[in-house]
Amino acid sequence: INQKNQWLFQPGRVVTLIPTNDTEAKVWGVAYRISSENEESVLRHLDHREKGGYEQVNLKFYPVDKLRSVMNSFDCITYFASERNQYFAGEADINTIARQVVQCSGISGTNKEYVYKLAESMRNIAPIVEDSHLFALEAAVRNLDNS
């Protein structure tokens, strides 16, 4: 907030799905079942929210329980980032990303809190998965945040 109590917008980084040809690549997350009566309004809301440089993609979701038992797959919708997105930051090394994260905040809060909560959620959602990129970023952000 500046001297006139105006919010200063300095967007940080968010989790972004980017298409890849790597058949070993995995994304861990949560899928939500939307009731048929709410499907149209939910999709309209998501399409509006993600319109700035994201593309809707249909894909297979492979549920896994905490014991890593695979359950039946199903089709779902997600959104992939596009370099056309004005806020698309692209790839960078962990230290560059961490420096950006500790400096940025937006209307939803600080970017460092986003990283901390994302890492915590990942540990809860998929405790058997070691997301080396995310956890290295979390450590780098905490290191900068505490210095």
Instruction: Indicate which residue of 50, 91, 130, 138 is catalytic.
Output: 50
d(CA 82, CA 88): 7
Handedness of CA 105, 108, 110, 112 (dihedral sign): negative
CA gap 102, 95 in Å, rounded: 11
The continuous run of DSSP H or E covering 79 comes out as strand 74-81
83 labelled catalytic: no
3-class SS of residue 123: helix
User: Cβ atoms within 10 A of the Cβ of 136, count?
Assistant: 14
CB 82 within 8 A of CB 88: yes
Q: How large is the angle between the packed helices 94-103 and 132-145, nearest 10 degrees?
A: 50
Active-site residue numbers?
50
